[in-house]
Every structure is written in C-alpha cells, then in structure tokens.
A and B are shown apart, each in its own frame.
Chain A
Amino acid sequence: MPVQYYIFLSIALFCIGVMGVLMRRNAIIIFMCVELMLNAVNLLLVAFSKMWADAGRVDAGGAQIFVFFIMVVAAAEVAVGLAIIVMVYRNSQSVDINIMNRLKN
C-alpha cells in the first residue's frame, strides 16, 4: 500500500484544520482545529515510522517517540489555552476571537 495515501489523508485533515481556523470566530472551535492540525502531523509521522521500519531501519521508533512528545505538548497547551479562554469569557461574556482586538489599546 503506497504511503502516499497517508500523505494525502494528512494533507486533507491539516487543510480542514486551516480552513476551520480561518473561517470560524469561536475561540474554542479555533482551538479544536489546531488540535486537528497537530493530529494530522502525528498521523504522518506514524506512517513514515512504519515506512522506515519496513525498509529495515532499527531506529524507526524514534518517530513514534516524537508523536508522544507532541501529545505531551498538546495536553499542556490545552490546559493553559482553555484557562485563557475561560478567563476571557469571564471578563467579556463572549468567546468571540475579535474581542482580542481590545488588547491593541
């Protein structure tokens, strides 16, 4: 099975995430789309790990460790990001991303 299939699937998921970030104004949805993009990259890393393992490389597991660290960073990011969103909601009663324009003044 060609690894291109996984490349195409990852590209599709990543671009859906980009579209979501550009099209929506709800901060929580934008945050979820960032998670979707991270997962597209993870899927691609795992596919390449399998490809190199099939080619006989003994260190192909390093890509899966990389995915593991991306998951760690994503978990930490979600905790802080949702705390920020909750704080913004408490101050302005809205999760609209355009509220952030007030930071300019």
Chain B
Amino acid sequence: MSYTIEGETGPWELVIGLEVHAQVTSQAKLFSGAATEFGAEPNAQVSFIDAGFPGMLPVINRECVAQAVRTGLGLKAQVNLWSRFDRKNYFYADLPQGYQISQYQHPVIGQGEIEIELADGTTKMVGITRLHLEQDAGKSLHDQHPSKSYIDLNRSGVALMEIVSEPDMRSPEEAGAYLTKLRQILRYLGTCDGNMEQGSLRADVNVSVRKAGEGFRTRCEVKNVNSIRFVMQAVEAEARRQIEVWESGGVVEQETRLFDTTRGVTRSMRSKEDAHDYRYFPDPDLPPLVLEQTWVDELEAALPELPDARRARYVGEFGLTPYDAHVLTLEKETAAFYEAVAKGRDPKMAANWVTGDFFAGLNRTGHSIGDSPVSAGNLGSLLDLIKDGTLSGKLAKEVLEAMFETGKPPSAIVEERGLKQVTDTGAIEAVIDDVMARNADKVAEFRSGKEKLFGFFVGQTMKAMQGKGNPALVNDLLKQKLAG
C-alpha cells in the first residue's frame, strides 16, 4: 500500500523531488585560490576574486571538477565531456560579483540514479536529473548591529554541487531515505563531508500533491532545509498545507517557501511574480569545460567501493545477514573499522562483536567510531584471545569493557587482572572434585537421573574458578566425573 495523506476528499498522493546543494570537499574555492575551511574568522578566507574586485577573473579549480566527476560516477550518471558555466545575475549584498557562476544549460553531469532502502526492507530507484557545479554566495549577518548588516565572504566562491533528483519520491520516508543515501555516497566518495549542521549539505524540497492517477499539480519549493529529519517534516507539512488549499477550493500557487522548524509549518518566502529574472548567459570569462575521457576513466578506476557494492560483498563473501551488512556499511568509517577487525578472522564473529558489544560500548561511553578508545587492532586481538581459548566469551566482554575504560590492548588487561582462562585439566579436576564433595546429595540426585542438575555443577565449578575455567573443558571433565 503506497503512502497517502487522508484529506476530507479522500487520499492524496505526494510527489517529491529534491535539489541538494553539497559543498565540494576541496582545499580551494571553485574559481579562486582562497581556502575553504569551516569556522574561520569572518572574511579571513577571501581573495579579490571572491570579493568581486575590478579586473578579477575566475580560473576553474581542477580538483573541484574532479570531485564533481567522481560524484557523477558514484551516482552512475552520465559525465558530460563538454559543459559550460553561465552567469546567474541578481543583486544581493553577499553576492559580490552581482552574479553567481553556475551551470545552467550544460551541466557537467547528466542523468543518473540512486537506489534507496526503505524500512520495510524494499528498495526503490530514484532518478538523478543532473549535477552541476556552482559558486556559493557569502553570508549576510543581520543580527550584529541594530541598523547595519554585516557581510562574511568566507563562503563566497566555495564550490557547490547542485544535485537535482527526478520527482520520483512519494513519501516523507522516501525523501529521507534518498537524502540519507545521497549523503552516504558523497561521504564514501569523499566529495562532500555531508555535514548538515555546518551547511555543507542542504536541500531544497519540491513538493506537490495529487489524486491517484493524475498528472502533476503545481509544486512549491521549500528552501534550505538542513537536516534529514526536517526534510521529512517539511514534506509532510507542505503536503498537508497544499491539500488544505486544494480542498478548500483554492489553488496552490508556485512559490518558494521556508520551513519553520519550531512551528513545524512552511511559510511563503517569495511568489512566482517576485521571482528574479536571472538573465542567464554563458560566462565570457570562462571557456567551455572540456574533459578528456581518459581523465574520467582514471578517476573512475580510482573510485572507492561504494555502499551498495560493499553491502553485497559483505553478504556474498562474508556471509553476513543483510541487516548486519547494512548497519556496517552505513558509514564509511564503520565499514573500514569492521574490515580491519575482520581481516584474517571469522567475518561473522567480527560482525557480531562490532555490531554488538563494540557499538554498545561506544554508546555507553559516548564515543564515535572516529574517537573510539578501542582500536580495530585491539578489538581484533580480543577476538584472537577468544579463538585461541585464552578468554571465554564472558571474560572477553569484561575485557572489552576494561578496554573502553583504559584504551589498553586486551593482552595487558588479561595480564593485569589475571583473567586468563584456566585450561589446566588437573586444576579444573581439583575444583570439580571439591564441588562434588561439598554437594554429595546433588551428585546422588544427578546419578539417579536428575540430569538437569548438570548446569548447577557447571555454575558451581565456574564460580569457584571465578569464571576463568575453560567452558569446554569444564563441561567435558564434569561429564566424565559425574558419570562416575
């Protein structure tokens, strides 16, 4: 059953498309040599080019183009060997040149697609219309002075990829899944850090509603939504607003809206009549962007493994469950950590430990995988200690806890705390003999058929050994001794 919103006149379908602005990960801006680091003092990272000084000219940054091409390849999209930069003309205080250099008619990347995963386990393809490179504008600060606005041009000229989807999504969940997946791919590729709080990734959400079987109705664009949760909320809020307009006999006007995150509603930003006439024309300062196929091929050959391929490999080669494979590939860092743990070891065991006790430990101690006190190498060593019988599973959990607290390798913790498992059969036999002597009545009961008492003897033996007895040996020896 597809997603609908129930109105007074019955169910409404949603039609959603996203335009995502992703800041290109690069040392320098798109057309100037200025740095791009986040959080610098205002106007500390501005060249005369970014500030639109007289006589300044743009020169394309090759690495930014490479990042766009890598992204296009990651989206299985067409790479256009010939593309062009256009000027989008409008006046604003934080747009120093009076135009934004963008790719209007001829984007560097054409059609592609993304497979999204939904909560019910199904997948869906969402089409990518295009990806183009453009400059970011600066930032106007209106809250620094009672009557003046301040301008910070650090962002001015920073390279953005605008990634436009087809109107293929039909629910808030799909929109959220699309943005999640896109972000994941960008982060795997290293072409955008995906940091939505810092504004490295922002989405314009196009929403319309319709009755089943209809063509598209008028859409509205909700600008600059800066989290996946807000995208999902904005879709629903805007859809409900439009349904109300249609059902009260009104007409939805094409317009640009903003999402009020505190009130959970969208409000009008500017109507179609106020829309700028951007007077696009080819930027005469920049020749067409012509790429060599061999260069594109080199970039493609050097692409990292992407989440879909990696997930398939984890299921196919490692025998992981699709769920575990999904969890382990969500973040590039997690997958890398897992692979380091699994290398030369049982991949399923590694998956269980990473997704189980290790994740729990991170949660408990408030760490992320990037600053985990337990390194992949140390977690691997812990698995080795289980494998060679030094530690029981139970002891290993204790050791891992200590590793989270101290950051030490497991061998050091085993040594310090004397946690080494006892595999000396003589020592285990001595303990078993003592337990049986102290519980002669239970031994008799067992021997007369009350076999479920076996667990009692295991427990008593392990208790006496402070949990350090090798469980398999304890079992074997108990069976022998109890058998008489």
Q: Do A and B come from one complex?
A: no
Q: Which B positions have Cβ atoms within 8 angstroms of A?
A: none
